Amino acid sequence: MAKRPEQGGQHAIDLALTHWGDSGQLKPLSVLGTLWLQQRFDPITWDLVCTGDVRLRSEVCQQLSTEAAAAGLSVQQVSTPSGP
């Protein structure tokens, strides 16, 4: 497998998973993250996911982030004390 490109000496983050209690948001942060995540949603839903207008159940977010990591993507997980 090819080595992932680095940005400023650090590995690029492909997806950000933000936890909001019992829900979460997945946000693509790279082209690879965008393409990987886009394959998992229908076009209408994808627009909402990409703009951050959709929250997913925590279990769904965790499953998607586990699958992304297994596929070689870099996933950053952020916990927040409360919703936006």
| Confidence at residue 78, expressed as pLDDT on a 0 to 100 scale | 84
Model-level pTM? 0.74
More confident residue, 80 or 3: 80
Please choose, from the candidates 84, 57, 74, 59, the residue with its C-alpha nearest in 3D space to the C-alpha of residue 16. Answer: 74
Q: Residue 54: what residue type? A: V
| Confidence at residue 3, expressed as pLDDT on a 0 to 100 scale | 46
* Span 7-38, pLDDT tens digits: 455 568 999 999 888 899 888 899 999 999 88
Confidence category of residue 47, pLDDT binned at 50, 70, 90: confident
